[in-house]
Amino acid sequence: MIDVNVYLHRWPFRRLPGDEPEALVAKLTAAGVRQAWCGSFDALLHRDVAAVNSRLASDCRKHGGDLLRPFGAVNPTLPDWLDDVRRCHETHGMRGLRLHPNYQGYKLDDPRFAELAAAAAERKLLLQIAVTMEDERTQHPLVLVPHVDLAPLVPLMKQLPELRVVLLNAFRGAKVNVVDQLAATERAWFDIAMKEGVGGVENLVKQVGHEKVLFGSYYPFFLHESAQWKLKESPLGGVQLEAISQGNAERLGSAT
């Protein structure tokens, strides 16, 4: 399978089982993951984004071989962020970017985000947006971080016909009508990491179509088995199961 939602480095607020690169690679390999799209937890609070991306690229090469594919961080509220986009693409050979707007203090109606999205589209980089990182009920009281509001993304997608977006951890915060509108663009994909409830994946397939659903575990913050069991408990099979577990991500990744 291809896992589109994995993180290296340390979650800022506690240690996670599997947060060492060797343990993470061992877990993914044992689970049958042949490719994992990796961001860095350091991107949430570190201001030296270039160093975060350099470490991420280096650790993916050192520990993952062909398994780990780095997705770089960009913070458009900091100086010279366009250079971070350039380095991710040209220096590190990354296929996409992973953004954390709610931790970095901007919203999707910010003109700087529109500029960032345009830069990603021009370079044919996938744009992953992490909508939620932690259940609001368990957040540190001094670091209460809201969900990303995806509504402004809908008109932006219409303005940028080359932009392709993957929404990670979307289903605690995204409104149903916004998900529908994004799915209608045919250029938005959704991972299953925070799709909860009985028949959750099946219901998501009915809502957006199996072609727009991706396997994402949010490991090591979540148990990897959680995402696996979401597929196992669903009645999906054959073409739909293959598409979600790897085919959709493979086609999406090869288009960059």
Q: What is the pLDDT, as a whole number, of residue 164?
A: 98
Q: Residues with Cβ < 8 Å from 250, sequence gap 6 or more?
A: 2
pLDDT over threshold 80, residue 255 = no
Question: Coil, strand, or helix at residue 127?
Answer: strand
224-232 and 200-208 helices, crossing angle to 10°: 70
Alpha-carbon distance 206 to 151, whole Å? 21
Pick the CATH number of 2-254 from 3.30.1300.10, 3.20.20.140, 3.20.20.10, 1.10.10.10: 3.20.20.140
Alpha-carbon distance 101 to 77, whole Å? 10
Alpha-carbon distance 72 to 114, whole Å? 18
Q: List pLDDT tens digits, range 95-121.
A: 999 999 999 999 999 999 999 999 999
Domain-by-domain residue ranges, the chain?
Answer: 2-254
Q: Residues with Cβ < 8 Å from 95, sequence gap 6 or more?
A: 69, 71, 125, 126, 253, 256
Alpha-carbon distance 84 to 183, whole Å? 29
Q: What is the pLDDT, as a whole number, of residue 43?
A: 97
Residues 205, 208, 210, 212, CA torsion sign? negative
pLDDT over threshold 60, residue 256 = no
Q: List pLDDT tens digits, range 170-222.
A: 998 889 999 999 999 999 999 999 998 778 899 999 999 999 999 999 999 99
Q: What's the whole-number mean pLDDT along residues 7-16?
A: 96
Q: What's the whole-number mean pLDDT along residues 222-245?
A: 92
- The percentage of residues in the chain with a pLDDT greater than 70, rounded to a whole number, is 99
